[in-house]
Each structure stands twice: as C-alpha cells, then as structure tokens.
C-alpha cells in the first residue's frame, strides 16, 4: 500500500467519488485508503464479475486479476462483466477492457494464468488483500494457505444453486491477532464426487451477484477500516427460502497452519490433498487410449456408432442436463447407479459418459470396485468433447 | 421439537426437504433420527469410520457444536441445528 500522504485526487476523481466522500465515516480518508490499496481478485467468473465491477467503480487503486480461462457462452447467464461479443476472448483481457472503460483511474495488473503452488505465494505477497472468487476445492485451500503463509486477509465467498457462504479469513485485528481461516471451518475437503460442482449442480445467475457484492463490501470495509468485518463469522444464505444465518467461527487448535502445534509451513499438493487423481498430458492420454485402460475417445465412440458395433451407452448426468444435449444413451444419474445395477449390461462393452468425463470415471471406479464390472469404458472429455470434435451443432453448457 | 436445516447439496437425499422436525435429547440423537428418516444422508454426514465428516459442520443456533459438547451437546425445545457443508462454487 502506498503512503497515504502521497495519494492525491484530480477534480474528476473527486466528482466521481463524491457519494463516498460525503459519507461522514468514509470521507476523503476512506477514498485515499482505497486508492492506495492493492487488491488481487482470483477468478473472473460469477463472483469475480461483481467484485471487479464494484471494486473498480469504488476506486481501488490497483486491482490484480487472475484467470487463464476464455469467455464461454454459458458464462453469460451470471458473469455480467462480459458481453456476447467477448465469447472466445481471454477473460482477463475482456475484463480489463470493460473495467478500464468504467474507471480509467484504476491500474489493472493482468495475470493470464491459473493460480498454483508454484506461483501463489509470489503473486499473493504482492497485494494487500485477496478476494477468492474461485470455484473448486484445491484452489480454495491453496488460496487459504497462501494467504495465511503470507499474512494476507482472504475475503471468501462460495455458492451452490440458491445457497451462498461468505467470510473474511485470516483477518488482522488491531491487537495483532489473526482471525480464523478456511481450515478452521473445514479441516479437509469433501471426498471427490461427494459434493457436486456448480458445473454439475447448477447455480442461479443472481447468486454470485449477491455473494460477490458482499465480498466487494467486505474488501472495502477491510481497506477503509469502516464497520465490523465478517471475520470470525460465517454468513450463510439460502435465497430460495430466504433464510440467512450469521454463524460464529472459532479457531481450531488442530489447524495444521495456525493451531497449537502447526505442522504445515509451506504450500502442499492440493489436488492430492483433495483426492483428485493427477492428470497427465491430454495428448499422451489420447495416444495411450485403449480398451485396456478403460478409456475411449469421442472419435472411437463415433466409429463404434457408425460401424453398428454392439455396445451399451450409459449417460450418468442429471435429467435436466440430458434435455440440453444427449447422445441417446440410457440415462441413469450417478446418484442412482447403485439402485440400477441390473440395467447395466455385464455381457457387452459399456461406454459411460457424463459432461466432462469426471462423474463417469467415478461411476466406473464404483462399478469395478463394488460390483465387479469389467467391460466399462469412460468417454474422455464427456459430451463436451463430443460437441467440440464430432458434432459442432450440439449445445454446450 | 427440534428443527434440523438441510443444506441445498444434501436435499436430494432428504426427499427435497429444507427442514426436518423431530424430537431428540442430544445432537447425536437428532442426527441419528434424521438418518433413520432419510438413510441416504448417512454417507454425506458420517465417514466409513462413523466419524462426522470434516467438511460438514453441525451448528446449534449460531455456535459450532465443537465449541460446546460436540455430538453429545444437549438440546432443548425449539433448538435449531444447521448442517453446513463445504461448497466451492463461484467461478465456473
């Protein structure tokens, strides 16, 4: 953060921020603190969109943006930072264009990459406050741990369908104490497959708008020192029922980073921690694909269909996903597989698919382990790969 | 009666209910009764070793049961238990 006495404003900035400056407890001092601040927003998705728009409009001096993704049509239902014309563009570039047009007095630092254990500490240590708008457990724990190890405040929010959660982790109190962090709440992530992701479970477009706005508000509160931050508290909302809760968060003495006997002093392998198998080079996977390792490419599946090969195709997605696009397979949602073993053919080759190949692999692992099935093939890349490589007219979601 | 609030990700295993009302003396009783009504919830609350899963927190009112007597925490008429699972969504 720059020294506050070096922060000055042009006339146009004073006019722009006048509605802040006339709030008695905010005034020019609050605006000066915002302009001096450096905030890193990780993820430019549903949460990142309102976060970035409001932090930019509010006049945060420097905003770092991390994301390696490109804008997809299915993003536009909630990622209000982007327009239809941005589809296919790198998210950080499209974001900067929109945000710079909103407020030319903000400096943007673009990081067109995925945050991982090799770059997280360096990147996070260059900012004052971190806002976590990511979407998966390995990155949630990575951001948490990197913030604790570098002493940064982590403004957190997360969503699922109509449900949202928010908190301010690792807050620095005036007396030097640190508030609880993500590992105090959830020491370990759920086993893979136990909790669906938004891509599988869906999310109402407005939810990231609500939670991302709460995050932006907490970022501004932490910077300016106004009010009471959401530290040591955990906000939960079920917007379908409009039930909200403000729960108390306590520090866990067994926390490996900040407990009574810390055992973790550096970043770890978060995919491994979250039970996610390591993926090799996709090209290598494609080349080694064979029936022996239980994987099948969309190209081979297309050949099987065209040649009239006798096999069974099973789709383990949800009925609403099937309605968007399907390959005419037998629909048995993943959660119902154990009750429908009798419908799965033991005497023919069986190809199992989902959206991206993740759920179907979990089903195959289960069927092999628990029910002794042997002739199973996972469709690599799922129906998304089919849409990309075989049928460009198929809707992607 | 005790109320147990079921979070969105677990409702499919609880006949899509948002609240289950039941009688119970302790948090352990309440969860046992809940699982007897909706057995599909069991693997999402307990692990294979019958321990509460670490990504699922149980709150009595606004307080984590870990800061009280854990699963043995006694309940009184009208108490509300919330099941709080980790959710990670936000970017995709």
SS3 letters for A164-177?
A: EEEEEECCECCCCC
* Residue A12 pLDDT exceeds 50: yes
Choose the closest CB to A194 out of B44, B62, B84: B44
Question: Would the CB atoms of A247 and B88 count as touching at under 8 Å?
Answer: no
Question: Would the CB atoms of A140 and B88 count as touching at under 8 Å?
Answer: yes
Contacting residues of B for A242, CB less than 8 Å apart: none
Q: Which pLDDT belongs to residue A272? A: 87
Interface check A339 vs B, CB under 8 A: no
Interface check B46 vs A, CB under 8 A: no
Interface check B39 vs A, CB under 8 A: no
Choose the closest CB to A189 out of B9, B57, B86: B86
B32-51 pLDDT per residue, tens: 999 999 999 998 898 878 88
Question: Would the CB atoms of A195 and B9 count as touching at under 8 Å?
Answer: yes
Q: How confident is the model at residue B76 (pLDDT cuts 50, 70, 90)?
A: very high
Question: Would the CB atoms of B90 and A159 count as touching at under 8 Å?
Answer: yes
- Provide the mean pLDDT of chain A: 91
Q: Which residues pair with A166 in a beta bridge?
A: A157, A235
Q: Which pLDDT belongs to residue A318? A: 87
Cα B29 to Cα A311, B34, B83, distances in angstroms? 48, 8, 15
How far away is chain A from the Cα of B80, in angstroms, using its nearest Cα?
11
Q: Which pLDDT belongs to residue A336? A: 85
Alpha-carbon torsion (A21, A23, A26, A27), positive or negative = positive
Of the candidates A122, A117, A118, the one whose C-alpha atom is nearest the C-alpha of residue A109 is A122
- A118, exposed or middle or buried, with CB in 10 Å at 0-12, 13-18, 19+? exposed
Choose the closest CB to B90 out of A134, A247, A335: A134
Coil/strand/helix, residue A137:
helix
Question: Would the CB atoms of B92 and A45 count as touching at under 8 Å?
Answer: yes
Contacting residues of A for B81, CB less than 8 Å apart: none
Interface check B85 vs A, CB under 8 A: yes
**Catalytic residue list contains A198:** yes
A174-230 pLDDT per residue, tens: 999 999 999 999 998 887 766 655 556 678 889 999 999 999 999 999 999 999 999
Q: Which pLDDT belongs to residue B47? A: 83
* Residue B64 pLDDT exceeds 80: yes
Interface check A258 vs B, CB under 8 A: no
Q: Which pLDDT belongs to residue A278? A: 60
* Backbone dihedral angles phi then psi of residue A281, each to the nearest 5 degrees: -65, 125
Task: List the A376-379 sheet strands across, edge first.
Answer: A295-296, A376-379, A349-353, A311-315, A330-331
> What's the distance, Cα to Cα, between the start and end of chain B in Å?
40
Strands A153-160 and A62-66: unpaired
Contacting residues of B for A132, CB less than 8 Å apart: 90
């Amino acid at each position: 953060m720059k020294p506050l006495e070096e922060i000055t404003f042009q006339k146009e900035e004073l006019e722009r921020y006048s509605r802040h400056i006339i709030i008695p407890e905010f005034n020019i001092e609050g605006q000066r603190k915002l302009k001096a601040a450096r905030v890193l927003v990780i993820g430019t998705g549903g949460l990142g969109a309102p976060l970035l728009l409001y932090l930019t409009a509010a006049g945060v001096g420097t905003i770092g943006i991390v994301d390696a993704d490109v804008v997809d049509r299915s993003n536009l239902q909630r990622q209000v930072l982007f327009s239809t014309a941005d589809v296919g563009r790198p998210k950080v570039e499209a974001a900067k264009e929109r945000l710079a047009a909103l407020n030319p007095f903000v400096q943007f630092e673009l990081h067109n990459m995925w945050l991982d254990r090799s770059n997280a500490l360096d990147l996070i240590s260059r900012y004052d406050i971190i806002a976590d708008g990511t979407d998966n457990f390995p990155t949630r724990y990575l951001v948490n741990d990197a913030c604790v190890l570098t002493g940064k405040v982590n403004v957190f929010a997360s969503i699922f369908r109509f449900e949202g959660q928010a908190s301010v982790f690792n807050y620095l109190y005036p007396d030097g104490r640190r508030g609880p962090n993500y590992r105090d709440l959830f020491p370990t992530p759920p086993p893979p497959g136990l909790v669906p992701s938004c891509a599988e479970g869906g999310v109402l477009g407005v939810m990231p708008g609500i939670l991302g706005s709460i995050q932006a508000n907490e970022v501004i509160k932490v910077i300016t020192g106004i009010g009471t931050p959401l530290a040591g508290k955990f906000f939960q909302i079920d917007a379908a029922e409009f039930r909200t809760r403000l729960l108390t968060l306590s520090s866990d003495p067994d926390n490996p980073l900040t407990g009574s006997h810390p055992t973790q002093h550096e970043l770890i392998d978060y995919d491994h921690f979250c039970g996610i198998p390591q993926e090799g080079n996709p090209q290598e996977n494609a080349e080694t694909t064979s029936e022996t390792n239980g994987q099948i490419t969309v190209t081979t599946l297309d050949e099987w269909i065209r040649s009239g090969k006798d096999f069974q195709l099973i789709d383990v997605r949800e009925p609403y996903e099937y309605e968007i696009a399907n390959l005419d397979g037998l629909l048995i949602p993943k959660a119902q597989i154990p009750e429908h073993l009798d419908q799965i053919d033991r005497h023919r080759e069986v190809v199992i698919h989902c959206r991206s190949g993740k759920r179907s692999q979990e089903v195959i692992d289960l069927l092999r382990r628990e029910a002794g099935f042997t002739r199973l093939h996972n469709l690599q890349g799922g129906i998304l790969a089919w849409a990309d490589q075989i049928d460009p007219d198929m809707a992607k979601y | 009666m005790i109320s147990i609030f079921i979070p969105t990700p677990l409702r499919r295993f609880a006949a899509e209910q948002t609240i289950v009302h039941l009688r119970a003396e302790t948090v352990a009783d309440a969860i046992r009764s809940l699982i007897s009504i909706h057995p599909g919830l069991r693997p999402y609350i307990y692990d294979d070793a019958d321990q509460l899963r670490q990504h699922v927190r149980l709150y009595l009112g606004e307080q984590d049961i870990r800061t009280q007597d854990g699963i043995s925490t006694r309940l009184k008429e009208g108490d509300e238990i919330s099941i709080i699972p980790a959710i990670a969504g936000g970017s995709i």
